[in-house]
Amino acid sequence: QAFFCLLLCIPWGSSCPRSCQCTERAGAKAVLCSSRRLEEIPKDIPRDAVLLKLDANSITRIPGNAFRHLSHLEEIDLSRNAIEKIDGAAFKGLAAGLRSLDLSGNRIRSIPKEALLALNAKLRLANNPWHCECALQEVLWEARLDLDSVRDITCHTAPREEYVGKPLLQVLDAGVNFCSARQRTTDVAMFVTMFAWFAMVIVYVVCYVRHNREDSCRRGEYLRPLPSAQAHAE
């Protein structure tokens, strides 16, 4: 952190987003866009940026491939924005070098797990109105979360009222498994679908047999008078 602070004192001579400040030290380049009233991520960020600070703005969405051309980034700070939606490919291209990603203090209720699980960065997800579900549980267990902030990941909404307002880690430690609940729901839906399909097959077979039986009866009634008519003719 002290190293990145030194970057604030040295201006860049290269291109820089109009609303940001860019600094450089020993080849490490920082783009500082804190508190600039930005509503989206700037599109003209230099490709060799190492640090990107976008905190305390009004950004509401992180679209797919938002940082794809920034393969040198090691730290992204998106804290204290108004982010509500994150695309599944939002951080595509950052998996190798990114070390820190701060998404705390936003309006994120849910996030595609594929957006985070591919990253090796340390994640800060605290102070968001999370909806506790299977995808968030998988992120908690499999992603590299910052240990100092993991207890501040709280259930703003949940499948059961008793989980609301509690830290997700506490809920999971109590034995709750949101993924198994989803699996049960999937199993029930599959059973209902199979039962409906089986019932349709039975109805079709019954109708087919009944139709053939009616055809046989009509054919028999048609052929029955033929012998007597032939005998009368003789």
Domain of residue 193, residue span: 177-208
Model confidence at 134: pLDDT above 60: yes
What are the start-end ranges of the E strands in the chain? 21-25, 28-32, 49-53, 61-62, 75-77, 85-86, 100-102, 122-124, 130-131, 155-157
- pLDDT > 90 in the chain, percent: 63
Quote the tokens at residue 15: 């291109």
Q: What is the pLDDT of residue 52?
A: 98
Indicate if the pLDDT at residue 168 is higher than 90. Answer: yes
What is the pTM for the complete model shown? 0.73
pLDDT at 211 over 70: no
Q: How much of the chain exceeds pLDDT 70, in percent?
A: 72
Whether 183 maps to a domain, the answer reads yes
46/6: higher pLDDT: 46
Query: 15 in a domain, yes or no?
Result: no
Domain count, the chain: 2
Specify the CATH number for the domain of residue 45: 3.80.10.10
CB 74 within 8 A of CB 52: no
Do 89 and 37 share a structural domain? yes
Give yes or no for residue 208 having a pLDDT over 80: no
Does some domain include residue 16? Answer: no
- Does residue 144 sit within a domain? yes
Clarify whether residues 109 and 153 are in a common domain: yes
- The answer to whether residues 80 and 65 belong to one domain is yes
The two structure tokens encoding residue 230: 């032939």
Residues 34 and 101 both lie in one domain: yes
Tokens of 159: 């499948």
* Region of poorest pLDDT, from 57-61, 203-207, 222-226: 222-226
One domain for residues 115 and 192: no
The predicted structure's pLDDT at residue 118: 84
Average pLDDT, the chain: 83
Same domain, 198 and 171: no
Whether 133 and 69 share a structural domain? yes
DSSP state of 162: G
